[in-house]
Structure 1
Amino acid sequence: MSTLTKQDPFQLLLESAPSSFAPIRSQAKEVYLGLGLPALKEEEYKFTPITKKLDGKIKDFSPAAPIAISKDVIQSAVFEGFEGDILVFSNGKFLPELSSQPEGLRITALSEMESTPLGSIAKPEKDTFSALNLSSFADGIFIGVPKKQQVAKPVLLLSFNQAHSGQVIQPRVWIEVGDFSEVTFIDQSISLTEDSYFVNKVVEIKGGQNSHVNYYRLQNESTNAIEVSNIQTDIFQDSRFTSVNLSLSGDMVRNNLTLNLLGSNSEGNMYGVYLLNGKTHVDNHTNVDHTLPHAESNELYKGILADQSRGVFNGKIFVRQDAQKTNAFQQNNNILLSEDAIVNTKPQLEIWADDVKCSHGCTVGQLDEEALFYLKARGIDKTTATGLLLYAFAGEVLEKIEEESFRSYAISLIQDRLGSKF
Structure 2
Amino acid sequence: MSTLTKQDTFSSLFTAAPKNFESVRKLAEESFLAQDIPAPKAEEYKFTNIGKKLEQSIVNYSAALPIEVTIDQVKSALFEGFEGNVLVFSNGKFLPELSSSIESVEISLISAKPELALGTIAKPGKDAFTALNQATFEDGIFISVPKKTQIEKPILLLSFNQANQGQVIQPRVWIEAGDFSEVTFLDQSISLGESSYFLNKVVEVKGGINTQIRYYRLQNEGKNVIEVSNFETDIQQDARFTSVNISLSGDLVRNNLTLNLLGSNSEGNMYGIYLLNGKTHVDNHTNVDHTIPHAESNELYKGILADQSRGVFNGKIFVRQDAQKTNAFQQNNNILLSEEAIVNTKPQLEIWADDVKCSHGCTVGQLDEEALFYLQARGIDKVQAKGLLLYAFAGEVLEKIEEESFHNYCVSLIQERLGSKF
TM range, smaller chain: over 0.9
Give the aligned partner of residue 28 of structure 1.
28
Give the aligned partner of residue 246 of structure 2.
246
Q: TM-score, structure 2 length as denominator?
A: 0.99
Query: What is the RMSD computed on CA atoms of the aligned residues?
Result: 0.9
- In structure 2, distance between residues paired with 1:13 and 1:78: 33
| Structure 1 position 11, deviation (Å) | 1.0
**Residues 1:151 and 2:151 are matched in the alignment:** yes
| Structure 1 position 115, deviation (Å) | 1.3
User: Which segments of structure 1 move beyond 6 Å, counting only runs of 4 or more?
Assistant: none
Give the aligned partner of residue 257 of structure 2.
257
- In structure 2, distance between residues paired with 1:314 and 1:409: 28
SS state of the match for residue 72, structure 1? Answer: helix
**Residues 1:312 and 2:312 are matched in the alignment:** yes
| Structure 1 position 8, deviation (Å) | 2.9
- 2:74 counterpart letter in structure 1: I
- In structure 1, distance between residues paired with 2:131 and 2:4: 14
- Per-residue CA deviations over 1:59-95 (Å, capped at 9, x if unaligned) read 1000001011011111111111100000000000000
Q: How does 1:357-372 map to 2 (within 5 A)?
A: 357-372=357-372
SS state of the match for residue 9, structure 2? Answer: coil
Give the aligned partner of residue 161 of structure 2.
161
Give the aligned partner of residue 303 of structure 1.
303
- In structure 2, distance between residues paired with 1:221 and 1:94: 19
Give the aligned partner of residue 293 of structure 2.
293
SS state of the match for residue 361, structure 1? Answer: strand
Q: TM-score, structure 1 length as denominator?
A: 0.99
- Per-residue CA deviations over 1:186-219 (Å, capped at 9, x if unaligned) read 0000000100010000000001000000000000
- In structure 2, distance between residues paired with 1:198 and 1:48: 15
- In structure 1, distance between residues paired with 2:150 and 2:116: 25
SS state of the match for residue 179, structure 1? Answer: coil
- 1:350 counterpart letter in structure 2: E
**Residues 1:204 and 2:204 are matched in the alignment:** yes
Give the aligned partner of residue 139 of structure 1.
139
- 1:396 counterpart letter in structure 2: E
Give the aligned partner of residue 193 of structure 1.
193
SS state of the match for residue 385, structure 1? Answer: helix
Give the aligned partner of residue 13 of structure 2.
13
| Structure 1 position 7, deviation (Å) | 4.9
- In structure 2, distance between residues paired with 1:328 and 1:113: 36
Question: What are the ranges of 5 or more consecutive residues in structure 2 without an aligned counterpart?
Answer: none
Give the aligned partner of residue 345 of structure 2.
345
Alignment size in residue pairs: 420
Contact 1:4 1:36 in 2 (8 A): no
Give the aligned partner of residue 404 of structure 1.
404
Change (3 A) 1:6 1:402: closer
- In structure 2, distance between residues paired with 1:234 and 1:12: 33
Contact 1:143 1:174 in 2 (8 A): yes
SS state of the match for residue 199, structure 1? Answer: strand
Contact 2:4 2:55 in 1 (8 A): no
- 1:226 counterpart letter in structure 2: I
Contact 1:261 1:289 in 2 (8 A): yes
- In structure 1, distance between residues paired with 2:11 and 2:327: 45
Q: How does 1:23-422 map to 2 (within 5 A)?
A: 23-422=23-422
- 1:135 counterpart letter in structure 2: A
Aligned-residue identity in percent: 75
- In structure 1, distance between residues paired with 2:228 and 2:168: 11
Contact 2:6 2:36 in 1 (8 A): no
| Structure 1 position 45, deviation (Å) | 0.4
| Structure 1 position 113, deviation (Å) | 1.5
